[in-house]
Homo-oligomer: A and B are copies of this chain.
Amino acid sequence: MTSEQSFEPEADRVARIVREQIIEGERAPGDRLVERDLATELGVSRVPVREALRMLVAEGLVTPRPRTWAVVRTFTDADVDDLIEVRSAIETLTFRLAAERRSPERLTELEAVLDREAQAARAQDPTAAHRAGADFHELVAATAASPLLDEIGAITASRLRWLLGQHLDLQEMVDEHLGLLGAIRAGDGQEAARLAVEHLRTSRDAARRLRAEQAASRH
């Protein structure tokens, strides 16, 4: 079942690499993204790089500047609030649907992912923990079984990952995810939705604290 003929166009590969670099902070907001340079750096021609940049623009990770170099997006506080507000509306629906449409198999998978997250949190490995956290959300989205919600989730997810990519309380994150899983397991859509919004509020506050710190340290 893993055959899948995984043919990955260069454009997708380039997008994936650059996306990861942005989320991991390797490329900071405001950094130039020059097509020729990226092409040389990644050993491909400009065409796939162009397409990759278009994708990242669509994801909102890159700001295009017609006829000139694009830059890694700089988020304002308003952008952050906006992201959280929209994401709340989306997550509410996602978790409600997930709670309604869960299956025993999926619950097992979700538990496994959270185990991985908890382990990473105990090991003080933020990168691994966040990756597992992202996987959790992705799996929940899959459980909601709404293709459109998936799409929209993907767009907002990379921004959210970028936003929360640094620290914040890992154990708290794990606890909240466990709570969400509980509500899904119980099939309680209402409770799942409530916890989801609460979870985002926690994330927003953490992001605000982080940004305040960063702003302070820059002066």
Contact = CB atoms under 8 A, between A and B. Distances in A.
Contact of A82 (B79, B85, B148): B148
Interface in A129-169: 146-149, 151-152, 155-156
A112 to B, nearest CB: 27
B82 A93 contact: no
The binding surface of chain A is classed by DSSP as helix
A216 B66 CA distance: 48
A89 interface: yes
A151 B86 CA distance: 11
Interface string A33-51: 0000000000000010011
A28 interface: no
Total identical chains: 2
Interface string A48-72: 0011001100101000001100000
Contacts of A104: none
Nearest to A58: B58
Contacts of A155: 151-152, 155
Contact of A152 (B7, B9, B54, B152): B152
Contact of A47 (B47, B146, B151): B47
A90 interface: yes
Contacts of A55: 54, 58
Contacts of A50: 51
Interface in A90-134: 90, 92-93
B147 A82 contact: yes
Interface of A: 7, 9, 47, 50-51, 54-55, 58, 60, 66-67, 79, 82-83, 85-86, 89-90, 92-93, 146-149, 151-152, 155-156
19 contacts: A9-B66, A50-B51, A51-B51, A54-B55, A58-B58, A60-B151, A82-B146, A82-B147, A82-B148, A82-B149, A85-B93, A85-B146, A86-B93, A86-B152, A89-B92, A89-B93, A90-B90, A148-B156, A152-B155
